[in-house]
Amino acid sequence: MKKLVEIRDVCKIYNPGENEVRALDHVSLIIGEGEFVAIIGQSGSGKSTLMNMLGCLDTPTSGKYFLHGQDVSHMTDDEQSDVRNREIGFIFQGFNLIPSLTALENVELPLIYRGVAKKERSLLAMNALSKVGLGQRMTHKPNEMSGGQQQRVAIARAIAQAPPILLADEPTGNLDSGSSKEIIKIIKRLYSEGRTVIIITHDPGIAKQAKRIITISDGQIVSDIMNPDYKED
Amino acid sequence: MYFEYIKSAIASIRSNKGRSFLTMLGIIIGIAAVLIVLVIGDGMKATVNSEIDSMGASTVTVSLDTLKTEKTFTREQMNTIEDTLKGIYGISPSMNFGAYFVTPRKTYDAYVSCGSAVKVNSGGNKIIHGRYFSDADVNEAKKVLVVCQSTAMKLFGYEEVVGETVHMDFYGYEADFVIVGVREDTSMDAAYASFGDEPTLMCDAPYTSVAEVISFNPDDQFTSFAIYMDKENKDQVISSARSIVENVMGLRGENAVKIQASAGMDQTTDTILNIITSVVAIIAAISLLVGGIGVMNIMTVSVTERTREIGIRKSLGARTGSILTQFLAEAAILTFTGGIIGIITGLSIAYLICNVVGFTFMVNPMLVLGVVLISTSIGLFFGIYPAKRAAHLDPIEALRTE
């Protein structure tokens, strides 16, 4: 298995000095291509910081982060933007769709920033929407859709340009149990199609769906196990 | 790619129609105000200039410096000068008198411009009935009069008054004058004639006749006269007049003759009109500045409101430049559209005003182009601060805001 994500001895310290907060305290972690990982922890455990770090939204105070073998720990804003665009598909708890745009336009966004031409862009976006079962709702605006549908649009947006990593931050946090199941099912299917999936959650029920479960507490990884209860759908 | 940013800028303007319009309103009013002032200013200039042009032949005034010589122009000397100068219509001494028209019903204030027959070439002397007074009238001191339209209307109640006799009183010296011609009103004639209960009525008469009525020897009175000529001959006349006048008057080397070209008038009025236009335009430009600040204000609010959207875009890979472009495009489109609406509004209002006031309505295309450029630059300039703020937002912070 090839290394996709490699974090070496990373610390993230807020307010350096007497009242410093060590959100990440010497964390090292390797995630290979095609893995299905859940990172679980209570709020304040440092899991959000870790997710920001993995998603290249943040840079470590010390230590290194290699993504696809490339050192991404100290990059400029624009370089980080490019890496996010190329490598990572985000799925957020609050869906984070742009309300003034239709489902299709939302899915097209990362493709625009990548510079994909109009025709190809629409095609890729339509494919992605069909994949999450929203082929019929492309021209709907987010406020015309249910939470589950909105999250499916967000997933379509995350996979439209086929990034190697899907980074899902509490993807079912705002959803009822029915929609949650649906979303987890889609995520599992994407994994089985060969994508690397990382889910960040505080919910053991969600974490149990993953193949590998990493537990984080007080900024440190306290356990990293293969899930004995994992079952394919 | 830039097309995409512009498209998303338009989408966000449209999704906030009411506010976008209010933002534009500042620009619309500013642009319209500037345009109205400049177009009306141009129209005013054009109108005044064409009025100056219609004042007929150019004149040059020749006068004697009364501190250096006690000589005056006699009729004979003026005739000699008139004959010697080339390229002129003629010369006319100028005397203006206050007097009264005495009619059986009422006595009116009169203002009598006296001169020689060549005065027909001065501005506004467009004869509509009869004729102007002639050289013969002047030489024989005939008591004839050319009145303007409004004078005829006041005195007789109708315009065709050629052949009528009117009694005039030059403050004690009285005489009857026969009207030989009626000329068109100038705006000044009309203005004086409409001064409510006390109008002043304008008329022209041969200087010799009036001099005779008031027992006034025209040979020892005049220290100045006007030369009438075509515009093209003016420079030549100015250069040759001095030596001829000095010779005829025996004033060589005494530096006592002053030559004054009066058509400097159109330059002076131009300057005055330009100053007025500039001052008002500056005031109007201030409203444009206020409009620009309004754009900055709204854009700042818009950035704050859309912090989360900016965070989302950044997490999806938008670079700083993309966000900057999107917000700048939004500001520029707002002000550009505002500018276009402002131009249409401004030109319409300027057209109405020009029509009502009677100015020439003309639009310099460069002015319109300039206004469009200015309004767009205002958007870009005042959009820079909010757009920069948007572009440099930290995506984590931005995603956290609700």
What is the percentage of chain B residues whose pLDDT exceeds 90?
20
Please tell me which of the candidates A92, A96, A110 has its beta carbon nearest to residue B317.
A110
> Given this model, what pLDDT does residue A148 score?
92
Asked if residue B184 belongs to a domain, the reply is: yes
How far is Cα of residue B304 from the mean position of the Cα atoms in its chain?
Answer: 50
The answer to whether residues B251 and B284 belong to one domain is no
The answer to whether residues B272 and B205 belong to one domain is no
> Given this model, what pLDDT does residue B241 score?
86
Range of weakest confidence among A19-28, B4-13, B306-315: B4-13
Distance from CA of B42 to the nearest CA of A (A): 46
- CB < 8 Å to A58, chain B: 396
- CB < 8 Å to B315, chain A: 55, 57, 84, 90, 96
pLDDT tops 70 at residue B330: yes
The answer to whether residues B74 and B192 belong to one domain is yes
- Out of B80-89, B139-148, B196-205, B248-257, give the one with best mean pLDDT: B139-148
Q: Which residues contact B351 (CB under 8 A, 6 or more apart)?
A: B361
- CB < 8 Å to A77, chain B: 319-320, 392
Asked if residue B186 belongs to a domain, the reply is: yes
What residue of B is the nearest CA neighbor of A89?
A: B316
Helices (H), B60-168: 75-84, 135-139, 149-156
Q: What integer best gives the mean pLDDT of chain B?
A: 86
Domain's final residue, options B227, B255, B283: B255
Phi, psi of A66, rounded to the nearest 5 degrees: -110, 130
Range of weakest confidence among A133-147, B158-172, B202-216, B255-269: B255-269
Domain's final residue, options B255, B287, B316: B255
> Given this model, what pLDDT does residue B97 score?
87
Average pLDDT over residues B252-267: 73
Count of domains for chain B: 2
Q: What is the largest CA-CA distance in chain B?
A: 104
Please tell me which of the candidates B312, B319, B396 has its beta carbon nearest to residue A98.
B312
Q: Quick check: B10 contacting A, CB < 8 Å?
A: no
Give residue-wise pLDDT tens across range A64-108: 999 988 999 989 999 999 999 999 999 998 899 998 889 999 999
The answer to whether residues B272 and B251 belong to one domain is no
Determine the 3-state secondary structure of A34 from DSSP.
coil
Stronger pLDDT, B251 or A7, i.e. the higher one: A7
- CB < 8 Å to A112, chain B: 1, 4
- CB < 8 Å to A159, chain B: none
Give the total residue count for chain B: 402
H or E stretch covering A172: none
Q: How confident is the model at residue B267 (pLDDT cuts 50, 70, 90)?
A: low
Q: How confident is the model at residue B1 (pLDDT cuts 50, 70, 90)?
A: low
Q: Are strands A220-226 and A212-217 parallel, antiparallel or unpaired?
A: antiparallel
> Given this model, what pLDDT does residue A65 score?
94
Please tell me which of the candidates B12, B309, B316 has its beta carbon nearest to residue A113.
B316
Range of weakest confidence among A116-130, B159-173, B213-227: B213-227
Best of A96, A141, A161 to mutate (most B CBs within 10 Å, chain B): A96
CA distance A225 to B140: 132
- CB < 8 Å to B308, chain A: 96
Asked if residue B262 belongs to a domain, the reply is: no
The full set of domains in chain A, from first to last, is: 36-61+81-226 (3.40.50.300)
CA distance A160 to B126: 84
Determine the 3-state secondary structure of A90 from DSSP.
strand
Q: How confident is the model at residue B265 (pLDDT cuts 50, 70, 90)?
A: low
CB contact under 8 A, B1 and A112: yes
Asked if residue B6 belongs to a domain, the reply is: yes
What residue of A is the nearest CA neighbor of B10?
A: A100
What residue of A is the nearest CA neighbor of B402?
A: A94
Q: How confident is the model at residue B55 (pLDDT cuts 50, 70, 90)?
A: low
What value of ipTM does the predicted structure carry? 0.93
> Given this model, what pLDDT does residue B342 score?
93
Token pair for residue A65?
């982060």
The answer to whether residues B170 and B300 belong to one domain is no
Q: Is-above-0.95 flag for pTM?
A: no
What is the percentage of chain A residues whose pLDDT exceeds 90?
75
CA distance B45 to B48: 5
Q: Quick check: A55 contacting B, CB < 8 Å?
A: yes
CB contact under 8 A, A81 and B318: yes
The answer to whether residues B248 and B293 belong to one domain is no
> How many CB contacts within 8 angstroms connect chain A with chain B?
60
The answer to whether residues B316 and B195 belong to one domain is no
pLDDT tops 90 at residue B344: yes
Q: Which of A130, A165, A132, A166 is nearest to A150 (CA)?
A: A132
Stronger pLDDT, B280 or A158, i.e. the higher one: A158
Asked if residue B351 belongs to a domain, the reply is: yes
Amino acid at A201: T
Give residue-wise pLDDT tens across range A36-74: 999 999 988 989 899 999 999 999 999 999 998 899 998
What is the percentage of chain B residues whose pLDDT exceeds 70?
95
- Between residues 321 and 360 of chain B, which touch chain A (CB distance below 8 Å)? 321-322
Q: What integer best gives the mean pLDDT of chain A?
A: 91
CB contact under 8 A, B313 and A109: yes
CA distance B14 to B10: 6
Asked if residue B141 belongs to a domain, the reply is: yes
Please tell me which of the candidates A77, A86, A96 has its beta carbon nearest to residue B320.
A77
- Out of A105-119, B39-53, B369-383, give the one with best mean pLDDT: A105-119
pLDDT tops 60 at residue A196: yes
Phi, psi of B95, rounded to the nearest 5 degrees: -135, 135
Q: Are strands B144-148 and B88-93 parallel, antiparallel or unpaired?
A: unpaired
DSSP string, B40-101: HHHHHHHHHHHHHHTTBSEEEEEEE-TTT----B-HHHHHHHHHHSSSEEEEEE-EEEEEEE
Range of the domain at B87: 66-255
- CB < 8 Å to B399, chain A: 57, 92, 96
The answer to whether residues B26 and B100 belong to one domain is no
The answer to whether residues B203 and B343 belong to one domain is no
Distance from CA of B16 to the nearest CA of A (A): 10
CA distance B338 to B29: 9
> Given this model, what pLDDT does residue A159 score?
93
> Given this model, what pLDDT does residue A66 score?
94
The answer to whether residues B338 and B371 belong to one domain is yes
The answer to whether residues B142 and B250 belong to one domain is yes
Asked if residue B181 belongs to a domain, the reply is: yes
CA distance A61 to B48: 75
Average pLDDT over residues B347-367: 89
The answer to whether residues B176 and B251 belong to one domain is yes
Please tell me which of the candidates B4, B8, B395 has its beta carbon nearest to residue A57.
B395
Average pLDDT over residues A164-182: 91
> Given this model, what pLDDT does residue A25 score?
92
Q: Quick check: B388 contacting A, CB < 8 Å?
A: no
- CB < 8 Å to A52, chain B: 396
Asked if residue B58 belongs to a domain, the reply is: no
Q: How confident is the model at residue A199 (pLDDT cuts 50, 70, 90)?
A: very high
Distance from CA of A112 to the nearest CA of B (A): 7
